[in-house]
Amino acid sequence: MSFRGLLAIASILALVLSCGARTELGFGVPTASGVIAGDDAGVDAGPDGATAPGVAPIDPTCTGAPPYNTVFPPYVPLVPPDEPADCGNGFELGDAVPGSVYVLDSNQPAGAAAITLDVDFATYKEPDGVLITGTTANGETYTLLDSCRLQTSSVGDQTGGTSRPADDTIRQFRISVEPGTVELVIDFAGVVSPMYIQVLGLCDFDVVPFPDATWWQAVP
């Protein structure tokens, strides 16, 4: 075969391989880490994003007026917490009182250091709204999590709001605390039904008991 013929075959093979790689990455295929990869998955596949396909930590739809179209992303196997070994503490709770607010103040004079928090969230059959915001020392407020239309299960809460639910009812998020944050506010104004949330990585905050829930406990 001529050199020109060999060159043509090589070009065709290169084109086929490149299309195959684009297909694998472009349709939101679960990776070994449990994070959805690909630009069609609807999420950030980096460390500060959702492992649930189709819903980012900050859902822009939530800034509009209800009603919202429910989003029910498929279950993705949960990934282990990945905070530093000396910063794995936090809390978990079930069935926050609708309209209640949980405030966590920083225990550091200059505010919290930058860190990514691990959030496990379950809303079961009916979406519940949870908004997490941070406030810096200069009074600026920013949003870490804003969820208002996430359904996580086809069945209702089997725990009665008194324990961690089954993994397949949970969706995970990774949210970033900005350096110098002096306060985190977890707003349960959008809660309308049984729900569960766990937040880890709170070593720079005073994790105080929260009375406005069916069940609360510190972790670990």
Which pLDDT tens digit goes with each residue over 199-208? Answer: 999 999 999 9
* pLDDT value, residue 24: 26
* pLDDT value, residue 17: 38
Token pair 């009375």: residue: 211
Rounded Cα gap, residues 132 and 175, in angstroms: 9
Q: What is the pLDDT of residues 90-144, one digit of tens each?
A: 999 999 999 999 999 999 999 999 999 999 999 999 999 999 999 999 999 999 9
Instruction: Give the mean model confidence (pLDDT) for residues 193-217.
Output: 98
Q: How far is CA 120 from CA 10, 145, 173, 217, in A?
A: 48, 12, 7, 14
Confidence at 55, pLDDT banded by 50, 70, 90: confident
> Of 11-25, 50-64, 79-93, 183-197, which gets the smallest average pLDDT?
11-25
Q: How far is CA 2 from CA 5, 6, 7, 13, 15, in A?
A: 5, 7, 9, 17, 21
Q: What is the pTM of this model?
A: 0.78
* pLDDT value, residue 26: 25
**In three state form, how does the secondary structure of 166-185 look?**
CHHHCEEEEEEECCCEEEEE
* pLDDT value, residue 168: 96
CB 98 within 8 A of CB 188: yes
Q: What is the pLDDT of residues 121-135, one digit of tens each?
A: 999 999 999 999 999
Question: Under 8 Å CB-to-CB from 154, ≥6 apart: which residues?
Answer: 72, 125
Q: Does residue 49 carry a pLDDT above 60?
A: no
CB 212 within 8 A of CB 119: no
Confidence at 1, pLDDT banded by 50, 70, 90: low
Q: Count CA atoms within 13 Å of residue 8 on its CB side.
A: 5
CB 124 within 8 A of CB 150: no
Q: What kind of fold does domain 44-219 have according to CATH?
A: Jelly Rolls (2.60.120)
Which backbone phi and psi does 101 adopt, to 5 degrees? -135, 130
CB 218 within 8 A of CB 91: yes
